[in-house]
Amino acid sequence: MSKAGKVPTLRLDRLLANMGYGSRREIGLLTGAGLVVLDGAPLRDSDQRIPVTPDLAQRMVVDGEPLDPPPGVALMLHKPLGVTCSHKEAGPLVYGLLPDRWRRRDPALSTVGRLDKETSGLLLLTDDGALLHRIISPKANVAKRYQVTLDRPLKGNEAAIFASGTLMLEGEDKPLLPVETEVHGETSAAVTLHEGRYHQVRRMFAAIGNHVVALHRDRIGGLALPDDLAAGAYRIMGEADISAVFGGNPA
Ligand code: URA
């Protein structure tokens, strides 16, 4: 929905081409064959304008399958180890975990921030630039929690150092914002960050003489990685999931 609350409309061929269903000519062939159906009735004119409402995926069928989520979609993905948050680097990419057609969408899906190749856990993706910026904006203070496994035993002073707001990372000139730490075991802890600097968790532990051997993000704001979302799987976010991202934080 636009800011003014008006439902945006798009030509049917433009909408489906932007969602990766083919060229406008190919969409014309699909509609001509009666294979694009809205509310049970075939749409014959590929140049007719369609209100792009969030429920379109429940109302439109393309070539016998429900329409993909229309533009304005957000996903939560359980990022496995070994895939990169990039559109163009070599090797397996997070976008390769999505259906092929979704990789041809315009606007494209982008990750909300990044996780390192060797970090697993909750990763959000969206094609909604305004939502993406709202989540990463420092004003929203969306906290991120990481489960950390370390190479060497914790000494007991880590929580105080991370909470101090004075820890400097190598090569930087501004101290880190305070980080909350929960110690779970000799070599395991959870840290909750209120900012996202490059390789922050690994560099925080390196700064105090330890080494992260495994890193997993299990929470963004008030949204936890669902237990039943397997590594490599994704789920379309509903309004409640999006509100949860902004919940659990002071205003
Ligand atoms: N901190 C890191 O070091 N790596 C991540 O992927 C996220 C936070």
Residue 20 has pLDDT above 80, yes or no: yes
Average pLDDT over residues 171-187: 97
pLDDT per position as a tens digit, 52-66: 998 999 999 999 999
Chain centre to alpha carbon of residue 99: 15
216 CA distance to ligand 1 centroid (A)?
9
Side chain identity at residue 12, one-letter code? L
Q: How far apart are the first and last CA of the chain?
A: 24
Q: Best of 77, 198, 204, 215 to mutate for ligand 1, by most ligand atoms within 8 A of CB?
A: 215
- The response to whether residue 123 sits with its C-beta less than 6 Å from ligand 1 reads no
Per-residue pLDDT at 196: 94
Contact 124, 77 (CB under 8 A): yes
pLDDT per position as a tens digit, 131-164: 999 999 999 999 999 999 999 999 999 999 999 9
Per-residue pLDDT at 4: 55
Per-residue pLDDT at 162: 98
90 CA distance to ligand 1 centroid (A)?
20
- β-strands 144-150, 188-193: how paired? antiparallel
| Helices H / strands E in the chain, number of each | 7, 15
Token pair for residue 219?
Answer: 């929470």
In terms of Cα–Cα distance, which of 29, 107, 31, 123 is closest to 71?
A: 107
Average pLDDT, the chain: 95
Other C-beta atoms lying within 10 Å of the C-beta of residue 42? 13
Classify the C-alpha dihedral 45-17-130-82 as positive or negative: positive
pLDDT per position as a tens digit, 72-118: 999 999 999 999 999 888 999 999 999 999 999 999 999 999 999 99
pLDDT per position as a tens digit, 194-232: 999 999 999 999 999 999 999 999 999 999 999 999 999
- Which domains does the chain show, CATH number per domain? 9-66 (3.10.290.10), 74-138+231-247 (3.30.70.580), 143-220 (3.30.70.1560)
- The response to whether residue 109 sits with its C-beta less than 6 Å from ligand 1 reads no
Residue 244 has pLDDT above 60, yes or no: yes
